Amino acid sequence: MTRFTEALANGPVIAEIKPRTADGEDLLRGRDPVAIAAAYAAAGATCLSVVTGHWFGGTVDLLRQVASVSPLPVLRKDFITRSAHIDTAVDAGAAAVLLTAKLLTAGAMGRLIDAALARGLTPFVEVTDEAEIAMVSRPAECVIAVNNKDIGTRERGPADLGRGTDLLAAVRATGTELPVSASGIEKPGQAAELLAAGYRGLLVGTALLRAADPAEWFAELSGELARPVR
């Protein structure tokens, strides 16, 4: 296992830091990203995601700032399409890189997966349908994440959490050990349902950044997970 997958195997929440939503809502609200990362770690996150894509106001400097001080492994979340982007992620301190199947051919995906693994990074492969799942080479060495939103609309529309339920069996059939449900998870109850269905990880961004205290969100999730199954 890589550092990122080792951490994710010990706890399900990848907590995300991004400056704004695609609609322009300010999610940092003047807060220090390093302080947010520390609050996430204290609350119980086991990994971080830092958005470097300009759609959400991210930068590589933001990634470098967080990764240089956080004890948690960090995912670089951006549209990675070239090996040079992977080199930049390594230089900035990332432990994983997002690869978006919708933007890549199968050949390009395979080359980027190989490049990430060769540099010691976890390929975090984002999919939205079974054809994209079938593109993933070396799936046992990847995290495969079902994106509950549509990047074609810059993730402005509502999340489809049912997509995760529909695709979970196909994701698990690849041999990946860590299927992840990503984006649009607002409430701890939704998170608990996804974990109960068989997901091993959750990427949660906007909901945690909007929360008055992320520790309360994590505590509510723990309470939901502790409830007896009916």
pLDDT tens digit sequence for 185-203: 999 999 999 999 999 999 9
Answer CATH for 3-226 from 3.40.190.10, 3.50.50.60, 3.40.50.920, 3.20.20.70? 3.20.20.70
Task: State residue 153's pLDDT score.
Answer: 46
Task: State residue 111's pLDDT score.
Answer: 98
Pairing type for strands 122-127 and 96-100 reads parallel
Note if the pTM is more than 0.85.
Answer: yes
Residues ≥6 apart with Cβ < 8 Å to 189: 224
**What is the DSSP track for 115-130?**
HHHHTTPEEEEEESSH
Q: What is the pLDDT of residues 144-186, one digit of tens each?
A: 999 997 665 455 556 678 888 899 999 999 999 999 999 889 9
Task: Give the start-to-end residue ranges of the domains of the chain.
Answer: 3-226
User: For the chain, what is the mean pLDDT?
Assistant: 93
Task: State residue 1's pLDDT score.
Answer: 64
- Tell me if 154 sits within 8 A of 187, measured CB to CB: no
Task: State residue 151's pLDDT score.
Answer: 66
**Nearest CA-CA partner of 125 in 93, 149, 103:** 103
Residue 68: pLDDT band with limits 50, 70, 90: very high
Residue 23: pLDDT band with limits 50, 70, 90: confident
Task: State residue 149's pLDDT score.
Answer: 77
Length of the chain: 230
